Copies of this chain bind each other. A is one copy, B any other.
Amino acid sequence: MVDILHRVGIKAPLDRVYKALATREGVAGWWTTDTQGESKVGGMLKTLFSVDGKVLGGFDLKVLELTPGKRVLWQVVEGPPEWVGTRIGFEVKQEGDYSIVLFKHQGWKEPVEFMHHCSTKWAVYLMSLKSLVETGTGQPSPDDVVIGDFH
Contact = CB atoms under 8 A, between A and B. Distances in A.
A80 to B, nearest CB: 15
Interface residues on A, range: 20 to 34
The complex is assembled from copies of this chain, and their number is 2
B119 A147 contact: no
B10 A148 contact: yes
Given A8-B147, A147-B9, A116 B102 contact: yes
A117 to B, nearest CB: 4
Interface of A is mostly: mixed
A16 to B, nearest CB: 15
A127 B150 contact: no
Nearest to A117: B7
Nearest to A103: B116
A149 B119 contact: no
B10 A119 contact: no
Given A2-B5, A95-B149, 6 more contacts: A2-B2, A4-B5, A7-B119, A9-B150, A98-B148, A130-B147
Interface of A: 2-10, 95-98, 100, 102-103, 111, 113, 115-117, 119-120, 122-124, 126-127, 130, 145, 147-150
